[in-house]
Amino acid sequence: MTHGGSAQKSVDSSFTSLPYRRLADAALSRAQDFNVSHADFRFERVRYQQIAVRDGNLQGAGDTEDIGFAVRVILNGAWGFASGVVLTPESAVHIAETAVQVAQVAANMTTELVALAPEPVYDDVEWVSSYETDPLTVPLSEKVGLFSDWTGRLLGSPEVAHSSALLQQVVENKFYTDLAGTTTTQQRVRIQPEVEVFGIDEASGRFDSIRTIAPPVGRGWEYVVGAGYDWDSDLNALPGLLSEKLAAPSVHAGKYDLVIDPSNLWLTIHESIGHATELDRALGYEANYAGTSFATYDQLGKLQYGSPLMHVTGDRTAEHGLATIGYDDEGVHTQTWDIIKDGVLVGYQLDRAMAQHMGAELNGGRSNGCAYADSPGHIPIQRMANVSLQPALDGPGTQDLIGHVERGIYVVGDKSWSIDMQRYNFQFTGQRFYRIENGRLQGQLRDVAYQATTTDFWGSMEAVGGPQTWVLGGAFNCGKAQPGQVASVSHGCPTALFRDIRVLNTAAEAGH
């Protein structure tokens, strides 16, 4: 067995002691009886813990463990998929038979035969993500105590009417094996702490909230107690920021230059680049649900996505990235590649069937490892990698970027987001908006939303910050597919400057 990812850790014995190899043998052996051209077996255990605290009191805590397995076959060019939770060889055989039965039903409606791009065989490899402390091994009382203390402390500030905190932790194990001979066993950890404070302006009756801007990360409990983030600084600033936000003047709608902090820009990247460059969307597979993409395949190498400063990469390899893993759910070794170079569309996110279909023009005819499911019961789909905007090597700092703006807004933190089904028209709000006058910040504004068309927006990007401004942001809750699947994905970016963007006054939009 070979190892990858974390040099220190191996997969938990509580997972490796589970009977997945016996189930896999039973299922794949039965699938072979039907002369399938491909069969894979995936066994997963995903453990979640969520803790909600409000005003210094525990509101709810829950542990969830999703354990089960799935069999996927290709029979006569049609997919068949089935999953189950009874962990016996007899059940594994039954699930394999069900997958074959589904493929037989599917064959009558399959007009494009499925074939998979070749991939080297990985013989019993192991991969573990980079983290120090499994958060699920930390006593619940310690976690509740810390977040109760944080929210209780914030509630003690006169500006704060209420405070809440949510801590989400996930430990995920996957075992995958297929008839070609690849076998992988993997483990990864991720965590998302969030704290929010709420306030009311007694004079106007207006209320508002403000939240920490710490990103979710592929780390363990060490992230909450100080590794990689300054929690005290973020938390201590909240009451003052809330007070300023409640008293802030309402924005005048119009065109503004925007300096966008990575804590906000990651989400714009996710929606307008990450999803738009998923090849399944470009090919129409998501047309009935998540939507398609304006970045159609015929524009590969031609579409001017935005400013020549744009260099956007896809990867499933970044340390602490939420989409980072050693091998995807089709046994493909994960990679890093260019999606947009010098502002031009040059790549997509692929799975094996799409890579085979498109041929050598994309990634040399090989999948770039973007097929995965969110749980043992769901079928792997083409799913998002970490998609990141690269910084300018000697680029400016955030203050320098602000200094280049005569009249504009500095946007910090994410909040509301929405984009159309071809990824053209979007609208975002944020946690905080600062007025920029003659290169200096002049206090917060409220009721701000920015709205643009994707290529116009990225075409207006005049400057990209340097590596010192780059932050790996991300989300736990990216939704896609039917049945719906939820994925975690990271997006790194620097601060960046955009010229002449439409800003709305949200109170005016509401007619108030």
Closer residue to other proteins in complex, CB, 88/442: 88
- Rounded to the nearest whole angstrom, what is the least distance from the CB of residue 43 to other proteins in the complex? 12
3-state secondary structure 269-319: HHHHHHCCCEHHHHCCCCCCCCCCCCCCHHHCCCCECCCCCCCEEEECCCC
Smaller CB separation from other proteins, 96 or 339: 96
Task: Please report how close the Cβ of residue 230 comes to other proteins at its closest, in angstroms.
Answer: 27
CA distance 497 to 494: 10
Nearer to other proteins, 32 or 57 (CB): 57
Residue 506 C-beta: closest distance to other proteins, Å: 5
The total of other beta-carbon atoms located within 10 Å of residue 141's CB is 9
The DSSP output letter for 253 is P
Judged by beta carbon, residue 227 or residue 507, the one nearer other proteins is 507
Which whole-number Å values give the CA distances from 379 to 60, 83, 187, 382, in the listed order?
31, 9, 19, 10
Q: Which contacts qualify for 432-438: CB closer than 8 Å, 24 or more apart?
A: 432/210, 432/241, 432/245, 433/251, 433/409, 434/409, 434/410, 435/409, 436/257, 436/259, 436/402, 436/405, 436/406, 436/407, 436/408, 436/409, 436/410, 437/406, 437/407, 438/406
At 1 the three-state DSSP class reads: coil
Rounded to the nearest whole angstrom, what is the least distance from the CB of residue 328 to other proteins in the complex? Answer: 16
Task: Give 404 or 415: the residue with its C-beta nearer to other proteins.
Answer: 415
Residue 344 beta carbon to other proteins: minimum distance, rounded to whole angstroms: 20
DSSP-assigned letters across all residues of 114-132? ----------SEEEE-S-S
Least distance between other proteins and beta carbon 296 (Å): 9
* Cα–Cα nearest to 66, from 331, 374, 325: 374
Q: Which is nearer to other proteins, 441 or 507 (CB)?
A: 507
Phi then psi dihedrals of residue 339, to 5 deg: -110, -45
Smallest distance, other proteins to C-beta of residue 372, A = 13
Give me the numbers of helices (H) and strands (E) for the chain, helices first please.
Answer: 11, 23
Cα dihedral across residues 192, 132, 265, 334: positive or negative: negative
The full DSSP string for 407-451 is EEEEEEEEEEEEE-TTS-EEEEEEEEEEEEETTEEEEEEBSEEEE
As measured in angstroms, the least distance from the Cβ of 140 to other proteins is: 5
Tokens of 330: 């089709």
Q: Is the CB of 206 or the CB of 440 nearer to other proteins?
A: 206
Q: Give the Cα-Cα-Cα angle 33, 39, 40 (nearest 5 degrees).
A: 135
Nearer to other proteins, 166 or 309 (CB): 166
CB of 496 to other proteins, least distance (A): 22
Least distance in angstroms from the C-beta of 119 to other proteins: 20
Of 134 and 208, the one with the shorter C-beta distance to other proteins is 208
Of 87 and 247, which CB lies nearer to other proteins in the complex structure?
Answer: 87
Least spacing, CB of residue 316 vs other proteins, in Å: 21
- Output 404 or 502, the one with its CB closest to other proteins: 502
- The identity of residue 489, as a single letter, is V
Among 46, 48, 52, 31, which residue's Cα sits nearest to residue 98?
31
Question: Residue 382 Cβ, how far from other proteins at the closest point, in Å?
Answer: 10
443 φ, ψ to 5°? 90, 170
User: Are the beta carbons of 132 and 104 closer than 8 angstroms?
Assistant: no
CB closer to other proteins out of 206 and 252: 206
